[in-house]
Homo-oligomer: A and B are copies of this chain.
Amino acid sequence: MWLRNCWYVIAWEHEIPADGFVARTVLGEPLLVYRTAAGRLAVLEDRCCHRQAPLSKGRREGDCIRCGYHGLKFDADGACVEVPGMEHPPQAARVKTYPVAERNKWVFVWMGDAARADLAMLPDNFSCNAADWHYQPGYMHYETPYLLICDNLLDFSHLSYVHEKTLGGSTAIALARPSIEAVTEPGQRGLRVSRHVPNVPAPPYYSKIKQLSTNVDRWFIYDFLLPGTLLMRSGGRPVADAPDNLRHAVQLHSCQTLTPETATTTHYFFQQAYQADAPDAGVTAGIYQSLIAAFNEDRDMITAQQRNLMSAPGAPMLPLYMDSALVQFRRLVEAEAVAEATAEAGGQGGG
């Protein structure tokens, strides 16, 4: 189950070469994304309208894509501008295009009704593109449905077990009962999950960002937004400091987003940024390496879970307290999917 009327990240901005393109499948549809000389982004279906060869087996020609099979050439609007051997390409020669948007180094594609594409629905991934936030961008491919990964990100009780060896000292975090509210930001649908963990030792890498000589009060506050984006503020403040005094605080912001590739595979784009006047290459690399190590542990567990789910489809799951956020999020996805199906049925009836 997935939603169509929403923005999915298809690529990090830096993945798109000036004179080439990126081919990536989203919601089972093969897509090709590129940027014209004037800087405009275009997403085309990666499927020539003639014999369905992938356009990505062809080549960029200026602002166009030339199919590598029989040479049809398409512009950034999907119109065929050349059929070799014909004076004028037929009007019907077009490939599908998709609304595309760019925000803070994430490139988004809209997979549903183009008329509903709404820039206000883009998530606020500000730390991906801010002078005082520093990170190394990440990408990972999953052989599992995206919702299992959402589940994982919506329930931190796994920290003590999946990440026992990589994220030491996290039991207090794992057990901290979060508050869960609806997100109220305009254009956004999702949950806000907040955890506060008072008076715990700071993790070792904190000291590389800020000088800390005491225990800290830590916080983890994230919005988990449809279709599958986590935006998390976290950090720690010396216990002696007042809540609004962030002078000695370590402040982090993480942007993570899941894009279904197919019903059973997923793209995962992520970063974990820290706030500092200037980047420290060691800190950046260290945080990135920790992230990769931990995310590999998640992927290993979720992939094993998926194998079990496949071996007995429909077997029941026992709901526990820690599932509260993930259950709410799955209900949100389901309700939106029903709303989309209803809207589509209504639209078809009216049109």
Contact = CB atoms under 8 A, between A and B. Distances in A.
A85 B157 contact: yes
Assembly of this chain: how many copies?
A: 3
A52 interface: yes
A247 interface: no
B311 A30 contact: yes
Interface in A145-159: 151, 155, 157-158
Interface string A152-187: 000101101110000000000011010000000000
A317 interface: yes
Give the size category of A's interface with B.
35 or more
Nearest to A156: B70
Given A69-B158, A305-B69, A90 B50 contact: no
Contacts of A25: 311
A39 B41 CA distance: 66
- Which applies to chain A's interface (DSSP): helix, strand, loop or mixed? loop
A83 B323 CA distance: 12
A19 B67 CA distance: 49
A112 interface: no
A70 B158 contact: yes
A322 B300 CA distance: 49
A307 interface: yes
A120 interface: no
A66 interface: yes
B52 A305 contact: yes
Contacts of A49: 317-318
Given A52-B309, A69-B305, 10 more contacts: A30-B308, A30-B311, A47-B308, A51-B305, A53-B301, A54-B305, A69-B301, A85-B157, A86-B321, A93-B320
